[in-house]
Structure 1
Protein backbone atom coordinates (compact mmCIF):
# COMPACT_ATOMS: atom_id res chain seq x y z
CA UNK A 1 0.00 0.00 0.00
CA UNK A 2 1.08 3.55 -0.68
CA UNK A 3 1.56 5.96 2.21
CA UNK A 4 1.34 9.74 2.12
CA UNK A 5 1.99 12.46 4.68
CA UNK A 6 -0.41 15.37 4.92
CA UNK A 7 -0.02 18.14 7.50
CA UNK A 8 2.51 16.02 9.44
CA UNK A 9 0.15 13.04 9.71
CA UNK A 10 0.86 9.73 7.97
CA UNK A 11 -1.92 8.01 6.05
CA UNK A 12 -2.19 4.73 4.20
CA UNK A 13 -3.93 5.04 0.85
CA UNK A 14 -6.66 2.40 1.02
CA UNK A 15 -8.40 3.44 -2.20
CA UNK A 16 -7.55 5.96 -4.92
CA UNK A 17 -10.40 5.51 -7.40
CA UNK A 18 -9.78 7.22 -10.73
CA UNK A 19 -6.63 8.99 -9.51
CA UNK A 20 -8.57 11.12 -7.01
CA UNK A 21 -5.70 12.08 -4.71
CA UNK A 22 -4.46 15.64 -5.11
CA UNK A 23 -2.18 16.15 -2.10
CA UNK A 24 -2.10 19.95 -2.39
CA UNK A 25 -5.90 20.18 -2.48
CA UNK A 26 -6.21 17.78 0.46
CA UNK A 27 -3.72 19.85 2.49
CA UNK A 28 -5.87 22.93 1.95
CA UNK A 29 -9.10 21.20 3.02
CA UNK A 30 -7.88 18.92 5.81
CA UNK A 31 -8.37 20.94 9.01
CA UNK A 32 -7.90 19.89 12.63
CA UNK A 33 -11.59 18.90 12.65
CA UNK A 34 -10.51 15.64 10.98
CA UNK A 35 -7.74 14.83 13.49
CA UNK A 36 -9.99 12.54 15.50
CA UNK A 37 -11.16 10.31 12.63
CA UNK A 38 -9.58 6.98 11.68
CA UNK A 39 -10.39 7.40 7.98
CA UNK A 40 -10.67 10.38 5.66
CA UNK A 41 -12.80 9.95 2.55
CA UNK A 42 -12.62 12.50 -0.22
CA UNK A 43 -14.78 12.74 -3.31
CA UNK A 44 -14.83 15.10 -6.25
CA UNK A 45 -18.00 16.76 -7.54
CA UNK A 46 -18.05 19.68 -9.98
CA UNK A 47 -14.26 20.05 -9.59
CA UNK A 48 -14.62 20.51 -5.82
CA UNK A 49 -13.12 18.21 -3.21
CA UNK A 50 -15.39 17.17 -0.33
CA UNK A 51 -14.01 15.44 2.77
CA UNK A 52 -15.75 13.27 5.35
CA UNK A 53 -14.34 11.52 8.40
CA UNK A 54 -15.12 7.93 9.35
CA UNK A 55 -14.29 5.74 12.34
CA UNK A 56 -13.31 2.10 12.59
CA UNK A 57 -16.12 -0.13 13.85
CA UNK A 58 -14.44 -0.60 17.24
CA UNK A 59 -13.89 3.12 17.90
CA UNK A 60 -15.99 4.33 20.85
CA UNK A 61 -17.02 7.43 18.86
CA UNK A 62 -18.46 5.47 15.93
CA UNK A 63 -22.09 6.03 14.92
CA UNK A 64 -24.30 5.09 11.99
CA UNK A 65 -23.27 8.14 9.96
CA UNK A 66 -19.51 7.74 10.38
CA UNK A 67 -18.89 3.98 10.50
CA UNK A 68 -16.40 2.92 7.82
CA UNK A 69 -18.38 -0.29 7.25
CA UNK A 70 -21.11 1.92 5.74
CA UNK A 71 -18.74 3.53 3.24
CA UNK A 72 -20.42 1.90 0.22
CA UNK A 73 -23.78 3.36 1.26
CA UNK A 74 -22.21 6.79 1.70
CA UNK A 75 -20.62 6.65 -1.76
CA UNK A 76 -23.85 5.43 -3.35
CA UNK A 77 -26.20 7.87 -1.63
CA UNK A 78 -24.10 10.99 -1.07
CA UNK A 79 -21.64 11.14 -3.95
CA UNK A 80 -22.04 11.71 -7.66
CA UNK A 81 -22.29 8.49 -9.65
CA UNK A 82 -18.86 7.31 -10.77
CA UNK A 83 -17.07 10.19 -9.05
CA UNK A 84 -13.39 10.08 -8.26
CA UNK A 85 -12.78 9.32 -4.59
CA UNK A 86 -10.13 8.22 -2.15
CA UNK A 87 -9.96 6.59 1.27
CA UNK A 88 -7.08 7.33 3.65
CA UNK A 89 -6.39 5.43 6.88
CA UNK A 90 -4.55 7.31 9.61
CA UNK A 91 -1.40 5.42 10.64
Structure 2
Protein backbone atom coordinates (compact mmCIF):
# COMPACT_ATOMS: atom_id res chain seq x y z
CA UNK A 1 0.00 0.00 0.00
CA UNK A 2 2.79 2.44 0.79
CA UNK A 3 4.53 1.75 -2.54
CA UNK A 4 1.35 2.56 -4.46
CA UNK A 5 0.87 5.71 -2.39
CA UNK A 6 4.45 6.89 -3.07
CA UNK A 7 4.05 6.20 -6.82
CA UNK A 8 0.85 8.25 -6.94
CA UNK A 9 2.55 11.04 -4.99
CA UNK A 10 5.52 11.08 -7.42
CA UNK A 11 3.15 11.10 -10.40
CA UNK A 12 1.15 13.94 -8.91
CA UNK A 13 4.32 15.99 -8.28
CA UNK A 14 5.50 15.32 -11.82
CA UNK A 15 2.15 16.20 -13.33
CA UNK A 16 2.05 19.42 -11.26
CA UNK A 17 5.49 20.45 -12.51
CA UNK A 18 4.47 19.71 -16.09
CA UNK A 19 1.27 21.71 -15.62
CA UNK A 20 3.33 24.59 -14.20
CA UNK A 21 5.72 24.49 -17.18
CA UNK A 22 2.81 24.51 -19.62
CA UNK A 23 1.14 27.35 -17.76
CA UNK A 24 4.32 29.42 -17.82
CA UNK A 25 4.79 28.88 -21.55
CA UNK A 26 1.17 29.78 -22.21
CA UNK A 27 0.88 33.49 -23.07
CA UNK A 28 -2.47 33.92 -21.31
CA UNK A 29 -1.16 32.82 -17.91
CA UNK A 30 2.25 34.52 -18.18
CA UNK A 31 1.41 37.43 -15.86
CA UNK A 32 0.41 35.01 -13.13
CA UNK A 33 3.99 33.66 -12.85
CA UNK A 34 5.85 36.96 -13.34
CA UNK A 35 9.00 37.31 -11.26
CA UNK A 36 9.81 40.91 -12.18
CA UNK A 37 7.73 44.00 -12.70
CA UNK A 38 8.19 45.08 -16.32
CA UNK A 39 6.55 48.28 -17.54
CA UNK A 40 6.86 49.62 -21.08
CA UNK A 41 6.94 53.39 -20.57
CA UNK A 42 7.23 54.23 -24.29
CA UNK A 43 8.24 52.48 -27.48
CA UNK A 44 11.89 52.83 -26.44
CA UNK A 45 11.84 52.92 -22.61
CA UNK A 46 11.26 49.94 -20.35
CA UNK A 47 11.29 49.82 -16.58
CA UNK A 48 12.31 46.55 -14.90
CA UNK A 49 12.06 46.58 -11.10
CA UNK A 50 12.66 50.35 -10.84
CA UNK A 51 15.62 50.25 -13.32
CA UNK A 52 15.16 52.07 -16.63
CA UNK A 53 16.31 50.42 -19.87
CA UNK A 54 16.32 51.57 -23.48
CA UNK A 55 15.15 49.22 -26.24
CA UNK A 56 18.09 49.41 -28.64
CA UNK A 57 17.24 46.58 -31.06
CA UNK A 58 13.88 44.90 -31.63
CA UNK A 59 14.60 42.41 -34.43
CA UNK A 60 11.41 40.83 -35.86
CA UNK A 61 9.38 42.33 -32.99
CA UNK A 62 11.09 40.00 -30.50
CA UNK A 63 10.35 42.14 -27.43
CA UNK A 64 7.47 40.93 -25.26
CA UNK A 65 7.14 42.65 -21.85
CA UNK A 66 4.95 39.93 -20.32
CA UNK A 67 7.35 37.13 -21.23
CA UNK A 68 10.32 39.20 -20.09
CA UNK A 69 8.65 39.57 -16.68
CA UNK A 70 8.36 35.78 -16.41
CA UNK A 71 11.88 34.96 -17.56
CA UNK A 72 13.77 37.83 -15.85
CA UNK A 73 16.29 36.89 -13.19
CA UNK A 74 17.67 39.44 -10.66
CA UNK A 75 21.22 38.38 -11.61
CA UNK A 76 20.74 40.26 -14.89
CA UNK A 77 20.68 43.65 -13.16
CA UNK A 78 24.49 43.70 -12.96
CA UNK A 79 24.82 43.79 -16.76
CA UNK A 80 24.79 46.88 -18.99
CA UNK A 81 22.83 45.11 -21.76
CA UNK A 82 20.27 42.31 -21.73
CA UNK A 83 19.72 40.28 -24.88
CA UNK A 84 16.61 38.17 -25.28
CA UNK A 85 16.31 35.64 -28.09
CA UNK A 86 13.49 33.30 -29.05
CA UNK A 87 13.85 29.61 -29.81
CA UNK A 88 11.06 27.02 -29.90
CA UNK A 89 8.62 29.41 -28.28
CA UNK A 90 10.92 30.08 -25.31
CA UNK A 91 12.57 33.38 -24.42
CA UNK A 92 16.20 33.10 -23.38
CA UNK A 93 17.99 36.01 -21.67
CA UNK A 94 21.70 36.76 -21.48
CA UNK A 95 23.61 39.72 -20.08
CA UNK A 96 26.47 41.64 -21.69
CA UNK A 97 28.79 44.38 -20.44
CA UNK A 98 29.81 47.63 -22.12
CA UNK A 99 32.97 47.49 -24.26
CA UNK A 100 34.71 50.14 -22.13
CA UNK A 101 34.38 48.12 -18.92
CA UNK A 102 37.79 46.87 -17.75
CA UNK A 103 38.49 43.38 -16.42
CA UNK A 104 35.64 41.74 -18.35
CA UNK A 105 36.08 38.68 -20.54
CA UNK A 106 35.81 39.41 -24.24
CA UNK A 107 32.84 37.10 -24.77
CA UNK A 108 30.87 39.08 -22.16
CA UNK A 109 31.22 42.40 -24.01
CA UNK A 110 28.43 43.72 -26.23
CA UNK A 111 30.76 43.89 -29.25
CA UNK A 112 30.55 40.08 -29.42
CA UNK A 113 26.75 40.14 -29.80
CA UNK A 114 26.89 39.13 -33.47
CA UNK A 115 29.04 36.11 -32.60
CA UNK A 116 26.60 35.11 -29.86
CA UNK A 117 23.64 35.37 -32.23
CA UNK A 118 25.36 33.27 -34.88
CA UNK A 119 26.73 30.58 -32.57
CA UNK A 120 24.13 30.15 -29.83
CA UNK A 121 20.81 31.32 -31.27
CA UNK A 122 18.52 29.79 -33.85
CA UNK A 123 19.14 31.06 -37.37
CA UNK A 124 16.93 34.06 -38.13
CA UNK A 125 15.34 34.10 -34.67
CA UNK A 126 13.59 37.12 -33.24
CA UNK A 127 15.61 38.92 -30.59
CA UNK A 128 15.87 42.19 -28.72
CA UNK A 129 18.60 44.17 -26.97
CA UNK A 130 17.90 46.48 -24.05
CA UNK A 131 20.50 48.83 -22.57
CA UNK A 132 20.64 50.09 -19.01
CA UNK A 133 20.01 53.83 -19.00
CA UNK A 134 22.30 54.55 -16.05
CA UNK A 135 25.20 52.13 -16.16
CA UNK A 136 26.96 50.96 -13.04
CA UNK A 137 30.32 52.67 -12.35
CA UNK A 138 33.38 51.06 -13.85
CA UNK A 139 36.04 49.57 -11.61
CA UNK A 140 39.08 51.55 -12.69
CA UNK A 141 41.59 50.19 -10.20
CA UNK A 142 43.31 46.94 -10.93
CA UNK A 143 43.36 44.39 -8.16
CA UNK A 144 46.64 44.43 -6.22
CA UNK A 145 48.93 41.51 -6.83
CA UNK A 146 49.06 38.89 -4.17
CA UNK A 147 52.53 39.27 -2.66
CA UNK A 148 52.08 36.32 -0.38
CA UNK A 149 53.90 34.08 -2.80
CA UNK A 150 57.29 35.52 -3.68
CA UNK A 151 59.16 34.60 -6.80
CA UNK A 152 61.75 31.99 -6.11
CA UNK A 153 65.23 32.74 -7.38
CA UNK A 154 66.88 29.72 -8.94
CA UNK A 155 70.54 29.53 -8.12
CA UNK A 156 72.84 28.51 -10.93
CA UNK A 157 75.07 25.54 -10.20
CA UNK A 158 78.73 26.21 -9.59
CA UNK A 159 81.08 25.29 -12.37
CA UNK A 160 83.81 23.00 -11.19
CA UNK A 161 87.19 23.71 -12.70
CA UNK A 162 89.58 20.93 -13.72
CA UNK A 163 91.72 21.51 -10.68
CA UNK A 164 88.81 20.97 -8.31
CA UNK A 165 87.31 18.01 -10.19
CA UNK A 166 88.97 15.46 -7.88
CA UNK A 167 87.43 17.21 -4.87
CA UNK A 168 84.01 17.15 -6.55
CA UNK A 169 84.20 13.42 -7.26
CA UNK A 170 85.26 12.76 -3.66
CA UNK A 171 82.27 14.75 -2.41
CA UNK A 172 79.98 12.85 -4.76
CA UNK A 173 81.23 9.46 -3.60
CA UNK A 174 81.07 10.47 0.04
CA UNK A 175 77.41 11.51 -0.32
CA UNK A 176 76.62 8.05 -1.75
CA UNK A 177 77.96 6.38 1.37
CA UNK A 178 75.56 8.35 3.57
CA UNK A 179 72.39 7.12 1.85
CA UNK A 180 69.86 5.43 4.09
CA UNK A 181 68.25 3.04 1.66
CA UNK A 182 69.31 -0.40 0.48
CA UNK A 183 68.91 -1.98 -2.93
CA UNK A 184 67.16 -5.33 -2.69
CA UNK A 185 67.32 -8.14 -5.14
CA UNK A 186 63.70 -8.65 -6.22
CA UNK A 187 64.36 -11.57 -8.56
CA UNK A 188 62.98 -15.07 -7.75
TM range (shorter): over 0.9
Q: Per residue, is there more helix in 1 or in 2? A: 2
SS in 2 for 1:74: helix
String of CA shifts for 1:36-78, please: whole Å, max 9, x gaps: 0000000000000000000001123521221100100000111
**1:16 pairs with 39, 58, 73, which one?**
58
Who wins on radius of gyration, i.e. which is larger? 2
Structure having the larger proportion of residues in strand: 1
* Aligned-CA RMSD value: 1.3
1:42 is matched with which residue: 84, 102, 112?
A: 84
Structure 1 outlier segments of 4+, above 3 Å: none
Task: Find the aligned partners of 2:92 and 2:74 in 1 and give their Cα distance.
Answer: 15
Aligned to 1:2: 44
The higher-RCO structure (CA 8 Å, 6+ apart) is 1
Give TM-score, length-normalised by structure 2: 0.47
Distance 1:67 1:50 in 2: 18
- Number of residues of Structure 1 aligned to a counterpart in Structure 2: 91
- 1:59 corresponds to which of 101, 117, 130: 101
Within a 5 Å distance, the mapping from 1:18-33 to structure 2 comes to 18-33=60-75
5+ long unaligned stretches in structure 2: 1-42, 134-188
- Structure 1 length-normalised TM: 0.93
- Identify the match of residue 79 of structure 1 among 121, 146, 168: 121
| Whole-angstrom CA distance in 2 between matches of 1:52 and 1:85 | 11
